[in-house]
Amino acid sequence: MLINGVILSDRIKVPSQRQLTDAGQMIVPCAFARTGTQLYTAGQLGLVDEEPNKIITVHREETEVFDEESMSSFRSAPVTLGHPKDESGKSIAVTADNAKELQVGMLEGRAYRDEDTLAGVIVLTNKEAIDELENGTQELSAGYICDIAEVEGKFYQRNIRANHIAIVDQGRAGSSCRISDEADEVIEALEENAKQDLNDSVDAAKEISDSTYLTILAKHITDESLLKKELADKLKETDDKVVVLNDEIAEIKKVLESKDKEIEEGKIKLEDAIQASNDNVIERCEVIDKARYIADLDSFGSMTIVDIKKMVIADQLPKLCLDGKDEQYVNARFDILMEEAEQETPMSRVLRDHANNQETKKHVDPVQVARQNMIKRNKENV
Instruction: Quote the pLDDT of residue 179.
Output: 41
Largest CA distance in the chain: 168
Q: At what angle do helices 305-316 and 210-295 cross, to 10 degrees?
A: 10
- What does the domain layout of the chain look like in residue ranges? 2-184, 280-376
**Residue ranges in the chain modelled with pLDDT below 70:** 1-16, 170-227, 276-277, 279, 344-370, 380-382
pLDDT, residue 20, reads 87
**What's the predicted TM-score (pTM) here?**
0.45
CA proximity to 121, closest of 32, 10, 20: 32
